[in-house]
């Protein structure tokens, strides 16, 4: 699934082509995404100017003159800016066509993505209103993690992947951040000291910033807006490296299941 760095990469790639442009029409070839695209969406969007494009967690938000368009890439979605006359492929379900005859094309082979219009403000939408802070924003810190984790028995990996605690820390980046902070992914969140949570907050910010700088991680379906793969996969320290040596201490990388997700950690330096 595209995670925060992949969504941020898509945002930075498409924004220069969209912001300030007027929408000519919405072409929907398949309404059957995670939720059906309402029939009146095309009418609501036609003629509106895209005033801004931003991200909240893994959602892309298109700020329009009236309301906001929410887009989620789902499990395998991707976005490309193309001439509107480009022949669509079998999984190219939606085109947001602009007046300059360019279009934003949404490709989603598994159809777990979503496209919904909502009146402003977007933050009041049910999908957004209960989300935790952005991990790269000022509200996220070790103190915040310490306050939220007291009394929590859940594994720290499960805790930081909870979007109500902090948004956008998906499985890959949770594994990498916990390794950088030298914290075992199965340790109870409520038993970790403030000092170690300070280190974890810094690790999360560092890992996500590095991943964004490298265009995200391409493991299966994700590619950047220009079709090029992300390169952070080449920098992974523990994810997918079972039984290989830890780059920090040389100990073996182990794999286990936490919350039905594969977890990778160093058996020596993470505790």
Q: pLDDT tens for residues 181-212? A: 999 999 999 999 999 999 999 999 999 998 88
Please tell me whether 146 is known to bind a ligand.
no
Q: What is the pLDDT of residue 85?
A: 95
Question: Among 182, 180, 172, which residue's Cα sits nearest to residue 234?
Answer: 172
User: Pairing mode, if any, of strands 50-56 and 92-98?
Assistant: unpaired
pLDDT over 80 at 232, yes or no? no
Quickly state the pLDDT bin for 217 (edges 50, 70, 90).
Answer: low
Please tell me whether 91 is known to bind a ligand.
yes
Please state the separation of Cα 50 from the chain's center in Å. Answer: 22
Q: What is the pLDDT of residue 3?
A: 83
Quickly state the pLDDT bin for 213 (edges 50, 70, 90).
Answer: confident
Residue with tokens 């003159």: 65
Question: Among 3, 95, 91, 103, which residue's Cα sits nearest to residue 55?
Answer: 3
Domain ranges of the chain: 4-124, 142-266
Average pLDDT score, the chain: 91
Q: What is the pLDDT of residue 269?
A: 96
DSSP 98: E
Q: What 3-state DSSP class applies to 96? A: strand
Q: Which distant-in-sequence residues (6+ apart) come within 8 Å of 73 by Cβ? A: 1, 2, 6, 7, 10, 58, 60, 79, 108, 113
pLDDT over 70 at 90, yes or no? yes
pTM metric for this prediction:
0.88
pLDDT over 90 at 50, yes or no? yes
Segment 170-176 mean pLDDT: 93
Task: Please say whether the beta carbons of 139 and 133 come within 8 A.
Answer: yes
Could you tell me the two tokens for 42? 């095309």
* CATH, domain range 4-124: 3.20.190.10
Segment 77-93 mean pLDDT: 93
Q: What is the pLDDT of residue 6?
A: 86
Could you tell me the two tokens for 135? 């991990």
Segment 29-57 mean pLDDT: 94
Angle between helices 4-18 and 194-213 (to 10 degrees): 40
Give catalytic residue positions.
2-3, 58, 261
Tell me the H-state helices in the chain: 4-18, 41-45, 142-149, 156-160, 171-181, 194-213
CATH topology of domain 142-266: Helicase, Ruva Protein; domain 3 (1.10.8)
Please tell me whether 184 is known to bind a ligand.
no
Tell me the C-alpha distance between 100 and 260, whole Å.
46
């Amino acid at each position: 699934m595209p995670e925060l760095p992949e969504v941020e990469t898509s945002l930075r790639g498409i924004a220069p082509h969209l912001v300030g442009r007027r929408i000519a029409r919405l072409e929907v070839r398949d309404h059957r995404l995670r939720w059906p695209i309402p029939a009146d969406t095309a009418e609501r969007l036609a003629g509106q100017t895209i005033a801004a494009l931003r991200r909240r967690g893994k959602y892309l938000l298109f700020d329009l003159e009236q309301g906001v368009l929410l887009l989620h890439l789902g499990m395998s979605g991707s976005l490309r800016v193309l001439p509107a006359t480009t022949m669509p492929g079998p999984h190219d379900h939606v085109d947001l066509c602009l007046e300059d005859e360019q279009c934003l094309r949404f490709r989603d082979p598994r159809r777990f993505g979503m496209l919904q219009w909502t009146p402003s403000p977007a933050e009041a939408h049910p999908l957004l209103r209960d989300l935790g802070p952005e991990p790269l924003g000022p509200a996220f810190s070790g103190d915040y993690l310490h306050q939220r984790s007291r009394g929590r028995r859940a594994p720290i990996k499960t805790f930081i992947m909870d979007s109500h605690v902090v948004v956008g820390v998906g499985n890959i980046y949770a594994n990498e951040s916990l390794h950088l902070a030298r914290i075992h992914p199965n340790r109870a969140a409520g038993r970790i000291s403030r000092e170690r949570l300070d280190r974890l907050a810094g690790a999360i910010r560092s890992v996500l910033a590095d991943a964004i700088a490298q265009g995200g991680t391409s493991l299966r379906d994700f590619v950047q807006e220009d079709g090029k793969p992300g390169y952070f996969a080449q920098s992974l320290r523990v994810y997918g490296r079972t039984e290989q040596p830890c780059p920090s201490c040389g100990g073996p990388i182990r794999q286990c299941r936490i919350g039905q997700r594969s977890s990778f950690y160093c058996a020596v330096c993470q505790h």
